[in-house]
Structure 1
Amino acid sequence: MDEAPPPKSDHSKLRFIDAMPRPLLVLFLVAGVVAVAAALVFIIHPPEFSTVPVQERRPPPRGALTHNVGKLAPAPVPSPQAPLPPACAAFSTTVLKVGPAGAVRLRQALVDLCRLSRGGVPADLTIAIKGLGNSTIRFAGFQLAGVESTADLATRTVWLNLKFSESNLPVEQVAPVIVHEGWHLAHAGEAVTAEQELGARRAEVAACRELMDVSKWPRWCNDARTLTDLPAARAIALLVSAGYTR
């Protein structure tokens, strides 16, 4: 009996990836890896959204929060842990509800503000520092990842963007953000209007000027300066256009 001829290969069923020229296949795989890496970078370090108008980079309040951050995911806190001594008398009632490394960073940020608490600085900054009394400072992930911070006026909790827990971000850049929310806490019984937000920006930029050379200012310091350099009526009008009440 004659042997049956071997089956003919069915090239119609050849996989697309097998038919792809080798250089094109390599390019395809590299592009896939780059796309995944870019997505991870975007998630971990979201862009600063420099095209967003300056008045919109700190959203208006939502509920008891001074700034809308979308969903807020508190960073986990190890328990129990020994509290660090207060940075100074001005912050004797300020609680740092963060992990050990975060507590060291935030305490240093408060130490930077201790010198300013003794006077000789703009009144807005003094008010903001006093507003941090009896408050709790924590880290959280924000759905609106470009927002630096928010504060819960009902619980007197300052929520800092999780990026401020990272050691590669200079600690002196954290203090002005804390000051911003301190201003709001100092006026906790009032609505966060455009005028009050402008006051928080004034306190923030005052802290920036006291703690850093202007060449080293982060975006939020420059944003605060941009708004506060405008005539007050113009700055308030811009904040109203961003959703703040007058």
Structure 2
Amino acid sequence: MSERRTRPARRLTERLARRSGKDPYEGLPVDDELGEPILPRWFVLTALAFVPLVLVVGGIAFLGFGTGLLGGEDVPAAERRPPPEGPYTTGVGELVAGEADPERIDAPCSAAEGLRVAGTEQDRATLYGAVDAACDSLGEVDELADGLEPLADHGAILRFATFEATGVDVTTDLVSDPPVVYANARYAQQAAELIVPLLAHEADLLRAADRGDELDGARTALDARARQARACEAALDRPSRACEDTAELLALEREEAVERLRAAGFR
């Protein structure tokens, strides 16, 4: 069997050791198969100790730059929900959804009569929970009591989907008959009541479409955000990110908010 070649790093270490007159491998255990010294335990433990630190630093950098906290780009509130695109009330790019047949729900209130839900058993349970929460919370506020009716009157279908524009929370296909409300799939793993303000927003846009309003109008969009904001207050103890985005936009003077939406692509 030919003699194993000494690795370059080891040769360098040996040359340095010869100069100092000390064998750097003296006293170290040797791997029986490879014939190489085994790293000291303190070195291995030190290296392992740095792994969580690297993960934490990487996570902070990712979150910081992703949200603008560490100098990354912070998307203005008016631009976080794009104007309508194609058949959708909000542009989402490519949309991917399941094809399960929708099921009519046992409506928890009259305003929800006619709504249907689709998806896996868990998806349907979450969407029904959202409708139930909407009936409970919106029904207690006079101006929101009919919040689901535009959707229910059209027999709308509720389901989850993934969007190319991952930051968008919800959109509705108004060309489909009946209309289909798509909530971002991330809500499938969250509390059902977080979907309530999204339903109020889409219902208001559907009501506007029934009136013949242009959904890409900045004022129409702002009115829908205002209705969503009222639903946020009625349905949630703590605002969701979608509610915070809406509140940030509505904190502006109305005309300034309209101009911001126009700059983001609305008319």
Q: TM-score range by the shorter chain?
A: 0.7 to 0.9
Q: Secondary structure at the match of 1:224?
A: helix
Confirm whether residue 52 of structure 1 aligns to residue 72 of structure 2: no
Residues 154 and 127 (structure 1 numbering): CA distance in 2 closer, same or farther, change over 3 Å?
farther
Unaligned runs of 5+ in 1: none
Shift, 1:111, TM fit = 1.6
2:191 is the counterpart of 1:173: no
Separation (CA, whole Å) in 1 of partners of 2:4 and 2:187: 64
- Output one character per residue of 1:127-157: Cα deviation in whole Å (capped at 9) or x when no partner: 6422212211110011111110111111211
Q: Is the 8 A contact 1:127 1:186 kept in 2?
A: no
Matches within 5 A, 1:78-93: 83-93=104-114
The structure 2 residue matched to 1:157, chosen from 180, 199, 219, is: 180
Distance 1:109 1:6, change over 3 A: closer
1-structure distance, mates of 2:172, 2:67: 21
Structure-2 residue corresponding to 1:208 = 232
Segments of 5+ residues of structure 2 without an aligned counterpart are 11-35
Q: Retained in 1: the 8 A contact 2:96–2:163?
A: yes
What SS does structure 2 have at the residue aligned with 1:187?
helix
Residue 140 of structure 1 pairs with residue 158 of structure 2: no
1:135-180 deviation line (CA, Å, top 9, x unaligned)? 11110011111110111111211110001110xx222111001111
Deviation (angstroms), 1:105: 1.6
Contact 1:132–1:185 (Cα < 8 Å) also in 2: yes
1:202 deviates by: 0.9
Q: Name the amino acid aligned to 2:110.
A: A
Distance (whole Å) between structure 1 residues aligned to residue 220 and residue 68 of structure 2: 24
Output the amino acid matched with 1:58: R
Answering whether residue 246 of structure 2 is matched by residue 224 of structure 1, we say yes
Aligned to 1:61: 84
Q: TM-score, normalised by structure 2?
A: 0.69
| Identity across matched positions, percent | 26
Higher mean Cα deviation, 218-227 or 199-208?
218-227
One-letter code of the match for 2:88? L
The higher radius of gyration belongs to: 2
Cα contact 1:84–1:103 (8 A) shared by 2:
no
CA distance in 2, matches of 1:130, 1:60: 23
Does 1 or 2 have the higher relative contact order (CA < 8 Å, sep 6+)?
Answer: 1
> Which amino acid letter does the alignment assign opposite residue 62 of structure 1?
E
Query: Deviations for 1:115-135, whole angstroms, at most 9, x for unmatched residues?
Result: 45657433xx45642221221
Q: Which amino acid aligns with 1:154?
A: V
- Alignment counterpart, residue 9 of structure 1, candidates 1, 5, 8: 5
The offset of 1:84, in angstroms, is 3.8
Query: Which region of structure 1 is more displaced relative to structure 2, 84-93 or 232-241?
Result: 84-93
Q: TM-score under structure 1 normalisation?
A: 0.75
Partners in 2 of 1:54 and 1:220 — Cα distance? Answer: 10
